[in-house]
Amino acid sequence: MDYPTPGDQATRDDDEMNDDSLEASSNMSVPLEMEVEDTVNSDAEEEVTPVDTDAEDRGEEMRDVAAGKLTISIEEGEGEDDDVIIIEDSEESGEQEETVSKPEGGKEEEAETTDDGKEKEDANGTESSAKPPKRNKINVGQPTDIVQDLNARQVRWFYRESKDERKWNYFSGYDSLQIEWKYREVHFHCTKTDDDVEMIIVRGGLYEVDVVSRKCYPIYWQAEAFDVMRGTWFYDTLQPLEESLADDIEQSHLEKFRGQNKNDPPETLNIKGNKPVLHHLKLKGSHIDWNTITDVFQYSDTARSKLARSIGTSIGLSKASSSGTKLTRGYCLEASLEDKPPPITHLVFVVHGIGQKMDSSSIIKSCSDLRASAIRMINKHLPSLVSRTSTKRVEFLPCEWRSNLKLDGDMTEAITPHRLRGLRAVLNSSAMDIMYYTSPLYRSEIVRGLQSELNRLYKMFCDRNPGFEANDGKVSVISHSLGSVITYDILTGWNPIHLYDQYLSHEQANHPDLDEVDAEQEVLAQELRNQRQKVEELESKLLSKNQVAAVTRMPTLNFKVENMFCLGSPLAVFLSMRGVRPHGKGKQDVILPKSQCQRLFNIYHPADPVAYRIEPLLIKHYSTIMPLKINSSDSGRQKRYSDMTMMAYPAAKDKPKEMQSTKGPQYEMVDMKDMIATEPEKKPAKSSGFWSKWTKKSESVETNAQLQVFESMKEIAAKDEKESKNEKGIPVNLESVASVFKDAHLYKELEHRIDYELREGTMENAYLSAVTSHTAYWTSADVVLFILVHLFPDYLSTSETSA
């Protein structure tokens, strides 16, 4: 179901909430259904002023409306606020009319009538027609104080995403009204059967509600449906009562107090002591007492509650204060059609990396965390995005591409040894994805899987949001780990087979294996060169005229990507392995054409072992330039990234003695022979055999050598971590370029920065963070704020930015 336009909805607001709602319910109130303004407080200060009828008469009139004895019509007055509701007698014998109007200026004017039914002349000397309608003047737009059925605005719908979650969350006013109208079509009007009820789109277009089954379903991903509930009676915590309980209370409330004015003082007002009970309702395990029309309390009938009430009353406390729970009829904030988010103007696809096979719902949870964090950051740093005048909104959609792939079937599991089965299963479900992608056999399946899923989600979104493309909606991609490599290959159309074909088509020299041939094979070699030249000519002619081939080489996404945010990405390693080398040009087009993606961002945690830098692939000197530090979301003043000073790493310090070995990696820095030679001799334990002594001695030497290597590595790690935390960059400017770079004349600046590094915590250990940092991006508020700032650069609060 698409959202209606404001004009259509205004018509529906007048028609459905007045005419249809009255016909649907047995005794609906006329003034409440004819409201033209949203009212927050249901107990308005302005009261109903009757002219020639009392509360009981009005209650009877409302019942006559429901019984069909009176009919309702609407007439427009001369002024804007002069809307008139006319209640006419539907029986032929009667000609009674009653008019409810709002006079100008808010003042009440009473029409005087003579004994013969003719109206007196007004100040201008004009005379109206005979039989003037009797008038009850009620301010239209203000709620009446007469007890009657709840209107659609007073009802509020709620949802709870998990059965373990105790708190119910309320839908927005717009969503609640949409659901309530559909509910009344089914249960009051009976114009819809259970099979014909349409789903109601809610929560910004991400979910849809079935009012028959009371379930809410996600639209763009697979997940379990969660419960929704209709709220009519509420606790003082604003949490709704269960529907069955609320329905029983509502029915009993209307049977007792329908048509009465809830502001009328009770007859027992001056009675001392506990307030008398005007009405009582016995329920299973509890009971409800009405002390007044609005003072309604629920009491538990358990032995503990009865004891608490007995003790409370014995010391002078009222029954309500000792163990009662206050109940409220109708939600405190009436639903409004204006309470809805603006249309989506920026769509962001969230692409996962490895490990999704273990838990296909993890990307859905990660995207949900991202969305929730984005709401907090927008409220704090980009408040204009959620103002009433805002016309822009960002939405995040998870893109799960792994579960639909077949790849090698169950062959990997079949060849997995049974020893350490749990650990091997984790590796098969995570790290194996990298091996699949590097395989020429399965790589194309993975690329097509992600490509088709992105196109499917985009088409579904545009079908449900037809104004997105018409209003120049933008699309960005957040890709994590291996997902960034796959997304990059889709955008650029990179394919190892095409790369090999390109190598062969541009190779002018002889094949390396055919540089030297025997004399008797020279004729064959020459014929091969001639045939290769003919193939190149035929290929060039075919490609120049073959439009199908030209189309297939174009990017295969059905939309243009505005921004690509890489989180913990190994993309730089893949590009390096493919032969990408810096050319000294600071343009992004060298690795990613702007025609396919306007801006590339590489975000990583300094302790993430999977992440690598991209900037040195464009300009090699940037290996000595520090990446820009991402602003902290807790900071009140957000510094603009375009104003940040470029910092260079300090000059390399003398390496510690442990690092001066030329024998290779750190774990080879200690000579095992030296360790064994310097190890103090230990007396072997008594043993009966020669082989037993030899085995124990060997184990002792091996264990001590491993311990020394481990201790050496631990010292190097601690020293490296201490230096990295105390390391301060050097500002790069015209005067310091020569001191930073050996070839200062070759230095060029990037078109824009690509590498951005998260800030480490003061108590954070880099080597411990290496275990968790690769998956910490989804819950990082700094990352979310960084993305929002670049999606909406003009919406960052100016009071929090620094020049």
Contacts of 163 (CB under 8 A, 6+ apart): 226, 227
For the purposes of burial, counting CB atoms within 10 Å of the CB of 461, is it exposed (0-12), middle (13-18) or buried (19 or more)?
A: buried
**Does residue 670 come out as left (phi exceeding 0), alpha (psi in the -120 to 50 range) or beta?**
beta
The single-letter DSSP state of residue 261 is B
Contact call for residues 428 and 416 (beta carbons, < 8 A):
yes
Contact call for residues 225 and 216 (beta carbons, < 8 A):
yes
Query: Percentages helix, strand, coil for the chain, rounded to the nearest 5?
Result: 40, 15, 45
CA–CA gap between residue 71 and residue 88 (Å, rounded): 5
Expressed in angstroms, the distance from the first to the final Cα of the chain is 46
CA–CA gap between residue 684 and residue 771 (Å, rounded): 41
CA–CA gap between residue 602 and residue 565 (Å, rounded): 6
CA–CA gap between residue 782 and residue 794 (Å, rounded): 18
Contact call for residues 575 and 586 (beta carbons, < 8 A):
no
Only one residue has tokens 């959620």, namely: 386
Strands 134-137 and 97-101, by their bridges, are parallel
Query: What letter represents residue 354's amino acid?
Result: I
Give the closest residue to 787 by CA, choosing from 594, 603, 591.
Answer: 603
CA–CA gap between residue 219 and residue 197 (Å, rounded): 17
Contact call for residues 330 and 32 (beta carbons, < 8 A):
no
Contact call for residues 458 and 476 (beta carbons, < 8 A):
no
Which tokens belong to 301?
Answer: 């009938």
Strands 296-300 and 286-290, by their bridges, are antiparallel
Only one residue has tokens 């089965």, namely: 421
Give CA 594 to chain center in angstroms.
28
For the purposes of burial, counting CB atoms within 10 Å of the CB of 30, is it exposed (0-12), middle (13-18) or buried (19 or more)?
A: buried
CA–CA gap between residue 354 and residue 407 (Å, rounded): 14
Give the closest residue to 257 by CA, choosing from 294, 298, 299, 297.
Answer: 294
The single-letter DSSP state of residue 656 is P
Bridge partner list, 303: none
Which amino acids are annotated catalytic?
481
Contacts of 529 (CB under 8 A, 6+ apart): 510
CA–CA gap between residue 527 and residue 797 (Å, rounded): 72
Collapse the DSSP code of 135 into the 3-class scheme (helix H, G, I; strand E, B; otherwise coil) and give the result.
strand
For the purposes of burial, counting CB atoms within 10 Å of the CB of 8, is it exposed (0-12), middle (13-18) or buried (19 or more)?
A: exposed
